[in-house]
Structure formats: C-alpha cells, structure tokens
Chain A
C-alpha cells in the first residue's frame, strides 16, 4: 500500500483514476490543483481545469470515492512556469505546449515534490499512459492501450525519478469504458465533456488572449504576410504571435495564390513581424533539431524508432542522434507543419524514450 496523492481536475478521467487507486488498496488523498487565484477569470464554463465548478466536481467525486480532499494552491507556480513561458514562447515566434510544461513543472514536479515531502509516495493522474517495470529495473512508460486516447506525448518530459513516483491507473482502458466505470461507481462526472484547448485561455481564442496579455511584451503589433513563392506582400496581420507554423485558417489574404491553392504559414519572424506563407509542399520537413532533452530512462545515443511531433499527431519513423543537449531527428517520412517550441517525443515501439523541444526544422525544399 502506498500513500498516494490523486490529482483531481474535476473531470471523469482523474476521478476514475483516483477511484481505482483507492480500490487497489492505496491510501489515497484527492487534491485539486488551483492554478488561478481567481478561478473565474481564466475561463468560464466547465471544460478547463481551473474553475470553481471543476473544483466542486472534484470534491464531489472524492466524497463518492470516500477519500479526503484538499485544494492545493499552485497558482503562483503555474503562472510563472506555464503561463509566463507560454507568453514568452509565442512572443518569440514559437508554439509552446503548455500541457507538457505543466506536467514537467507542476504536476510531476511542484505537486510531486510537495507530496513526497508531506509523506506521500506517489502522484496518480488520469492520464492515458502505461507504466511497466523494465528488465533493467527501470520504470518504462508506454503508450496507452487505447492509442486513440494515448497521452504519453504530454508525459514525454518525465524523468525516471518522476516516473518512479507516478501512477496512471487508466493506461489499460479505453475512454468509453472509463465513462461506463464512472457511471457504475456513481461518479456524477461520468458524462462531463472532455476538456479541450488550453485551460487558461478562455474560449480557445489563443490570439485574442495573447493580444490582451502580452501588451508591451508583444514583439510586434502587426506586420506583413509575404508569399514565399513570389516574395510579394499578400496581406497583413495585427501580431505575429497569433500564428503558428502550418496554420491555414484565419490568414485573410487579399491576393489569391497564382496556382489557386491554399497557403499555409511557413515561417514567423517575430522581430520584423513578417509572416511567410506558401504552398503546402513547403511545409514538409525531413530534419528536426531539438534541444532541452528529457529522458525517461537511460540516455540513448541513437534511437531508430518513431517520433510524435504534436499532441494526437501521427507517428513518424525517425532516426534520432543524441549529443549532450542536442538532439538530431532524421525523419524517414517527411512531416508537415512542424512548429518550433513544440515537443518531439521519441518512441521505441510503444515505449517513450524521451523528448526534446523543437528548435529548428529543415525543409525538404529549402526556402528560396
């Protein structure tokens, strides 16, 4: 029996995860992470992870499971480590993934450290991923049995030490089964909608949120949209942070492309504010340079496996070379629309080897 902190967002997954941990005989304490000092201000509605309603849902789930429940205030840490980073990254023309960041810095760092210091042994969450003891005595993290729901990508930043103190009780189950189980356990969140988007950005309006929050920190408040093929200015925008590589919608281009085909964001230059667009072919990259690697176990030199380049993205066959803090990823099949700032998570089969933050990409057809 272990003493376990179950991080309870107020959603169905973390509720069932907590229930399973308790049923497995662990001494479970439910903890809702308050990530905003003023819960209503970050978003309204009940899809995120930081509303009063979510906190109440988590509390009611803990009541039903029969475990103690507390709210831990992580709002300062969350703001510093996740929200500020999110703004900095967009301001620098990159596309961050705040969920990975939250797992790396909050759920399996600030929360885990506090839990361990308070006498707990582990943190359990409702993530869909599987932990297994490997033959070398290390804990391995694998994709969830339900590949459609697999969340190992957002956990790819966890180190062996973090994995040793983690529990993912849902890794062997698919989502419909989790909902059925929640129903059977009398958890009222059984049919609560899945959370989407970024929990602290209301309405999923990234660009609007960034415009409001960045203020003077925005690298620019507008610039040209330039066609990579012709070099012509084909439109303008009100802030380059509103764009991400591979984006097609919302470009509002005045001049149609000569070939009549849709254009995509190929490059974002935060200093000049220039956003470069071009045809889809130009989005293909065959090499990725990564930095800030995080390894789940032993540090590899070379991995011949697959990489995943965005949440719920496809797997790409790849050969990965590691040299200190630098990770070179050769894609066997090119990938499209790869944004610096996103994580490349490296897999050997279903096993997560580690991850790196994408720093640069090389286009198959280099920009002219």
Chain B
C-alpha cells in the first residue's frame, strides 16, 4: 500500500472544485424552499435562478432551457422518454428512436425499456473501429421512413474510449426532417467546447460530478419549444416537466463548477492532452504491444482519456494490481454485482470478448499531475507481466 493515491478515474467522477465546495457549503445551513412565497423562499429561488443564468450563460443556452435534475441518468431518461412520448402523442406514427450502439447505459437502458414496454422501435446504429458513429447508417435509417422517427440520441463524447461523435452531421441530417436530437454531453462538458445553441441539438444532458460539482445534481438543457412529457410528477417545479423540491446548495455548487470548468476548458484540455499523450507514449514504451483504443489523440478525442488494451491480460487483474499500488483506474463498465461484463462499446467497435476484457481506461482530470503519470508508467510493466501470468488460470 502506498500513502499517495494516484487517481486516474476522473471520467467516473472528479474531485469537486474549491469554488464549487465554497458555493455549496455557503448554502447548506440556509433555509428556504424555492417554491415558497416569503423572503426565505425568494432568497432560495434567487439562488436557483442565478445558477440557471450562470449555467445558461457559459453553455450557450437561454436560462429557460435549463431544467435541473438529479443528474445524468435522470436527464437522459427525461429526454428519451419525455420527448418520445410527446412526439408520439403529436403523431402516433413516430415510433422509431435512433441512437448509437455505444451510448451509456443511462441512454441504452431507457431505450431498451421503451422498446420492451412501450412499443418503441429502437435502432442502435453501428460505429467505426475508432468508436465513431457511422453517419451513413444514420442517413439510411432516417431515409427509410423519416416521418416515423421520434427522436435521435447521439452522445457528444463516448465515456469509455473518449471518441467525439459527429454531432454536426447528425444535427444536419435530423434537421432535414425536423427530428429532434438529444445528446448526452456528460463527458464532454468542461473537456471540449460545448455550446448548446451553436450545436443545434434540441436537448443536452450534463451532470455535476463530472465537472467538479457535487453528486446528485445535473440538468437537461432542452429547448423551450420542444414538448417534453414529465417523468417525475408532483409540484411541477421545473417547467412542469420535472417535479421535486430544488436542492439549493447542490444547484449553487453545480453552477459554480460549470462556470469554472467551462471557462478553464481550453487551458485544461491543452494540459490534459499533453499529460495523456505522455502517458500513452510511455506506457506503450514499457508494454510494446499495448495499444490505444478509440480515436487518435487530437480534436476527435476527449483530452483526458487514455483507453488502452493490454493483450494477454485480464483488465480486472491489472486493475487490482494497480489498486494495490495506490493507482486507480477503470475497466469500463461493471454490473451491479461487480461482475465485469465485456464492454458493449468495445464490442460495437469490433473487439472480440478477449480484447474487450484486456482493456483499461485511464482518465485524467484537474488534479492530475506529471507525477501521477510517472507513477503509472513505473508500475505498469511489472503489473502487466504479473497479470499475463495469471491469464487463463
């Protein structure tokens, strides 16, 4: 055991920024329900609306577009189910939903649910070996029967392999038939430039704890003129499409984190790109048959993501051996019992089961230092050697 933790799992969650901690804690001992009419209620409401304006201001949205939720999963569910239901209500022929095969489970599982219990026809579109949506397949799929498409959902950047998706082309294709587009931008915000209006998408998901804000709070940014059916019914606090008493401290923390991370995005990305490139280059020097999955370093890849395959190993073994040395990373997706399933993302990219299981994701963030990269590079050789010895036993 080492004393120092080398945290290379920022895509799972990243430490809160000091400004977010400050903003959140400032409101923890206050009182006031943002729906109350008295002075305390008005003060709480003011925090919410200022937060909404701050967020809208830095992501190219109007304040009224921002709907606060409990985080990425709820935002994705609200977007997919809410837009699907509203669109089908307008026109019962709209039963198709198109998405990529590499969406996060927070998108895939609601879609599978809609398919199974609500007669949605879900089409999961193929991706390239680099994990990028095959735009032609989207074009073909829409063209087959444009009027039956209720919604297109394409993530901004993939959470496992870091590949950015061709959203411009997706939006252009969908716009020809006035089909709304939702994007899960949970991994993108603060890492790459994200401008809601400029992107042309109709709905966008982000969450607090990936941008240095608190857990349990996020938002669906959704154009005001796009009908969305409610998922969580009650007091109608958020535009009547999301109910529940608003979490003032969390929303304040979220706004502070979004503002800080978006303003620092350019510098942050440049720094992480250098660190990540250094990490990948040096890991491959030590383990020559290791290889990067996803798009190459550059504008089509998240700056902090290094998803590396180590042939002849189980990712689980490497993870455990690194963990014992205080180095924390991820094997990708895990099921609730902790049994690693081969990643659907890697399988969709054409990896076989073995390749999917020998891969690890290292993700860098605002606290990552060159010393973290040094520590990984120093450990990885012996760890991979050991993991190889254990493979197949």
Contacts and interface: CB of A to CB of B under 8 A. Distances in A.
Interface string A29-70: 100101001010000000000001001000100000000101
Contacts of B323: 68
A118 interface: yes
Interface stretch (B23-31, B69-77, B385-393): B385-393
A110 interface: yes
Contact of A73 (B316, B320, B390): B316
Which of A29, A37, A114 has the most C-beta atoms of chain B within 10 angstroms of its own C-beta? A114
A118 B320 contact: yes
A284 B289 CA distance: 64
Contacts of B188: none
A203 interface: no
Given A117-B386, A118-B317, A71 B338 contact: yes
A39 B321 CA distance: 26
B340 interface: yes
A335 B336 CA distance: 47
Contacts of B338: 32, 34, 55, 59, 70-71
A220 B317 CA distance: 44
B337 A39 contact: yes
B298 to A, nearest CB: 35
Interface string B318-355: 00110110000000000011111100000000000000
A54 to B, nearest CB: 9
Interface string A55-92: 10001000000001011110100000000000000000
B337 A55 contact: yes
Given A73-B316, A110-B393, A118 B387 contact: yes
A170 B245 CA distance: 52
Contact size class for B? 10 to 19
A52 B337 contact: yes
Interface in A95-149: 110, 113-114, 117-119
Contacts of B316: 70, 72-73
Contacts of A73: 316, 339-340
Nearest to A35: B339
A118 B390 contact: yes
A98 B317 CA distance: 27
B55 to A, nearest CB: 36
Contact size class for A? 20 to 34
Contacts of A110: 393
Interface string B55-84: 000000000000000000000000000000
Interface in B14-43: none
Which of A34, A59, A68, A73 has the most C-beta atoms of chain B within 10 angstroms of its own C-beta? A73
A39 B339 contact: yes
Contacts of A37: 339, 341
B389 A34 contact: no
Contacts of A118: 317, 320-321, 386-387, 389-390
B380 to A, nearest CB: 15
A166 to B, nearest CB: 17
Nearest to A37: B339
Interface string A181-218: 00000000000000000000000000000000000000
A32 B340 CA distance: 13
B339 A75 contact: yes
A70 B320 contact: yes
A52 B386 CA distance: 29
Given A68-B324, A70-B320, A119 B386 contact: yes
A71 to B, nearest CB: 4
A110 B320 CA distance: 17
B230 to A, nearest CB: 31
B386 A34 contact: no
A55 B340 CA distance: 13
Nearest to B387: A118
A113 B393 contact: yes
Contact of A117 (B336, B337, B389): B389
Nearest to B341: A37
A70 B317 CA distance: 10
A264 B106 CA distance: 56
B392 to A, nearest CB: 9
A251 to B, nearest CB: 39
B390 A117 contact: yes
A113 B393 CA distance: 6
B199 to A, nearest CB: 39
Contacts of B341: 37
A55 B339 CA distance: 10
Contacts of B339: 34, 37, 39, 71, 73, 75
Contacts of B336: 52
Interface in A311-354: none
A2 to B, nearest CB: 15
A59 B337 CA distance: 10
Contacts of A117: 386, 389-390, 393
A315 B336 CA distance: 44
Nearest to A77: B393
Contact of A114 (B324, B337, B393): B393
Nearest to B357: A73
A358 B386 CA distance: 40
A77 to B, nearest CB: 10
A70 B151 CA distance: 40
Contacts of B321: 118-119
10 contacts: A29-B320, A29-B324, A55-B337, A73-B340, A75-B339, A110-B393, A117-B386, A117-B389, A117-B393, A118-B389
Given A34-B337, A118-B320, 6 more contacts: A52-B336, A68-B323, A114-B393, A117-B386, A117-B390, A117-B393
Interface of A: 29, 32, 34, 37, 39, 52, 55, 59, 68, 70-73, 75, 110, 113-114, 117-119
Q: Across the A-B interface, give the 10 residue pairs with the lowest CB-CB distance, nearest first.
A: A117-B390, A71-B338, A113-B393, A34-B339, A117-B389, A52-B337, A114-B393, A55-B337, A39-B337, A118-B390
